[in-house]
Amino acid sequence: GSNGELFMMEAIEAGDLVFDIGANVGEWTSYLLSIEPSALVYCFEPLPDIFATLQENLKERSAILNNLGLSSTSGSAAFFYYADCAALS
């Protein structure tokens, strides 16, 4: 089978700039930095509780963490979140 995220990681080279949009708790970024520690990773996660876990999980990593979401338009928006469906671990 194929895994697009794994394929993308294999293409990242030393010093590349990477954006992790919807970083969740940081598993993807953590793995990426374990195989390419010189990558510059910007993580974006809008949910405060999940962002706190992201901060904890990546505190020893060089990622730049942003507690916000990204969109094609500027401004604020309602964000519906169901705690029992989120991956908090």
The model's pLDDT over 22-65, given as tens digits with 9 standing for 90+, comes to: 999 999 999 999 999 999 999 999 999 999 999 999 999 999 99
Whether residue 15 is predicted with pLDDT greater than 70 in this model: the reply is yes
Whether 86 has a pLDDT exceeding 60, the answer reads no
Cα–Cα distance measured from residue 6 to residue 19, given in angstroms and rounded to the nearest whole number:
15
Count Cβ atoms below 10 Å from residue 4 Cβ, excluding itself: 7
* Residue 50: Cβ within 10 Å count: 21
